[in-house]
């Protein structure tokens, strides 16, 4: 694989996760209470909270939080299947 192909796969996976998360949140906000709402609306936060270092003239903040829900996982799986079909 070329470097541009790897870059496009990584960008597609990130976009799939972000768009899937947005779609899942939107669908979850319109569905009435029940098991399906929990499936679409529930998300898992993975990562660590922001850590701030305040010095006299410099302020540094580090942090990374990934929010995963059902639709984002589904979108990532669909992108992986598509790229396997495209490149094999």
Q: What is residue 29's predicted lDDT score, i.e. its pLDDT?
A: 87
CA distance 31 to 13: 26
Q: What is residue 19's predicted lDDT score, i.e. its pLDDT?
A: 92
The predicted model scores a pTM of 0.77
Q: Where are the domains of the chain?
A: 3-87
How confident is the model over 28-74, as pLDDT tens digits?
Answer: 888 888 888 888 888 898 998 889 999 888 999 999 988 899 999 99
Contact by Cβ (8 Å): 70, 43: no
């Amino acid at each position: 694989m070329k470097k541009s192909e790897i870059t496009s796969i990584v960008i597609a996976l990130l976009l799939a996760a972000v768009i899937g998360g947005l779609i899942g949140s939107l669908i979850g906000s319109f569905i009435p209470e029940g098991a399906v709402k929990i499936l679409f609306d529930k998300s898992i936060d993975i990562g660590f909270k922001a850590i701030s270092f305040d010095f006299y003239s410099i302020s540094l903040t580090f942090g990374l939080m990934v929010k995963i829900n059902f639709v984002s996982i589904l979108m990532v799986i669909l992108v992986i299947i598509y790229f396997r079909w495209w490149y094999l």
